[in-house]
Amino acid sequence: MTARPMPRRRRPSGTALLAVLLLLAACGIVPPTSSPNASAHASPGASGVAATPFPLPSLDLGGEVSVGAISRHLEALDAIARQHGGIRAVGTPGYDASVEYVAAELEAMGYTVSTPQFSVHTFAEEPGGTLTVMDGGPTFEAGDDMHAMIYSADGEVTARVATVGFPGSDGGEGNRGCSEGDWEEFPAGRIALTPPGPCLRRDTVEHAQDAGAVGLVVANDQWEPGEARRPTLLSPDGIDIPVISAVGEVGEALDDAAEAGTEVGIRVDTRTGDAGVRNVVAQHGSAGPVVMLGAHLDSVMDGPGINDNASGAAAALEIAHLLADAGHSGTVRVGFWAAEEFGLHGSRDYVTSLSSAEIDAIAAYLNLDMLGSVNAVPMVYANFGGPDGSSTITDFLVAWLQADGVAAEREDLGNGSDHFFFAQADIPIGGIFSGASEEKSEDQAAANGGQAGEPMDPCYHLVCDTIDNVDAEQVATYAQAAAAAMLALLEGQLTTGQ
Ligand SMILES: [Zn+2]
């Protein structure tokens, strides 16, 4: 998951469901005009302006998502990571054990379970990578302060450095390496240094290669020593140079080297290959509209991924459980996706495997990725311009959470998680998210508590994303909202027009 939440307007919270709904009528929510169970839109593009209440249907979920059950799944997936080298990344035994775990849980609930296999590009970085500033400068070792990005080419290069895309640097547009214009003045044969930009890392690499760079370092000055993350380049195809993701300190050393004209040596040893990996797809019921829920099951390569995303997987398991026990019309289908951290490969493989009739049969897809952030900002997916019907799900989730005393923001997550390919297939989407490495604002802290100026998830994509990095109670609260939306969609009390 990567998403950068923009600050949004706040809302008052509420009490017991129905009473609060009427209360909300006075407080106000912004539902779309399109669907019959929504009310007038306040004003286009604005979120948070109270208009008319979203009429939440009365639903009998037959129970609550239990915090104990959520914790059991989190502990099981945390233990799986500890038993498999601290990670559950795709292509590793930790991921396979995670697949076995959720498949067994779903079978025990009475779901029909399949584990469709597909081929994915695997990636590994061998120990021993270094970045050295010559003439007695510092040496950084791959591990905490820098990583080869997923699908980086391996190799050894030594060259001078040129900075690109920093505001005012080297005559470029200052668009952080994301525009061709940033690279017009780039001296071929150098190692490029850029800040992280508002585009896919792969785009920056392609610009760098076209400009003749022999290596690329993307240094993030928000990352403290020991906090390097490892973005993905989506595929090894077309990546010909070593590509490094580094903390601010490395960026400063390279900036000095660029200034001084000092050479820098980069050495990385990476392996790419292909492997068959499995999604888990489970179904309950076989008639009527299919309503889908999904969560990625893989972790990053550098940590156990318990908030990202054992929290979503645990929530999906307990929602599946609740719906199976509650009884429902329609068909519940739950997907646990592989290789999200490598580039949404599992959900893409699933969606592209569907016929158009199968796509048409899916009334909605809800995505759950990172529900347990310890300094959370509750966010509901609101893909402006997304498939018709999505905003109905958005408004339902906002209203339901509001009734539960949670003032959720509406957030456009773009291509930040597994909902993306469902939206691309024009399937109405929704979802819940609680924040990644972005800092919480004063306003957000005022509305939801927690620490302003601190990351929403301080262990995002790091080795410390363990069981201690998840708020299980919050996961249960968000899961209850998603379960309610699923049941309302299954019962036809919430319609997406699909
Ligand atoms: Zn994630």
Distance CA 475, CA 5 (A): 19
Distance CA 279, CA 296 (A): 9
pLDDT score at 42 = 42
Determine the distance separating the centroid of ligand 1 and the alpha carbon of 313, expressed in angstroms: 10
pLDDT band at 54 (very low <50, low <70, confident <90, very high): confident
Distance CA 328, CA 343 (A): 34
The overall average pLDDT reported for the chain is 90
Determine the distance separating the centroid of ligand 1 and the alpha carbon of 475, expressed in angstroms: 14
Determine the distance separating the centroid of ligand 1 and the alpha carbon of 474, expressed in angstroms: 17
Which residues are part of the catalytic machinery?
340
pTM of the complete model: 0.88
Contact call for residues 247 and 220 (beta carbons, < 8 A): yes
Q: For 214-232, how does the pLDDT look when each residue is reduced to its tens digit (9 = 90+)?
A: 999 999 999 989 999 999 9
- Domains in the chain, ordered, with CATH? 9-122+276-490 (3.40.630.10), 127-268 (3.50.30.30)
Q: For 248-298, how does the pLDDT look when each residue is reduced to its tens digit (9 = 90+)?
A: 999 999 999 999 999 999 999 999 999 999 999 999 999 889 999 999 999
Check whether 50 has a pLDDT greater than 90: no
Question: Which of the 8 DSSP states describes residue 408?
Answer: P
Tokens, residue 15: 């009490």
User: Out of 164-178, 222-236, 484-498, which region has the weakest mean confidence (pLDDT)?
Assistant: 164-178
pLDDT score at 144 = 86
Check whether 177 has a pLDDT greater than 50: yes
CA dist 19 to 25, 36, 56, 442, Å?
A: 10, 22, 11, 30
Distance CA 55, CA 262 (A): 65
* Closest C-alpha to 281, from 236, 337, 237: 337
Determine the distance separating the centroid of ligand 1 and the alpha carbon of 417, expressed in angstroms: 7
Determine the distance separating the centroid of ligand 1 and the alpha carbon of 356, expressed in angstroms: 28
Q: For 384-397, how does the pLDDT look when each residue is reduced to its tens digit (9 = 90+)?
A: 677 889 999 999 99
Which residues, 6+ apart, have CB-to-CB distance to 214 below 8 Å? 157, 159, 189, 190, 191, 241
Please give the radius of gyration of the chain, using alpha carbons only, rounded to the nearest integer. Answer: 23
- 436-471 CB burial, b ≥16 within 10 A, e <16: bbbebbeebbebbebeeeebbbbbbbbeebbbebbb
Determine the distance separating the centroid of ligand 1 and the alpha carbon of 341, expressed in angstroms: 7
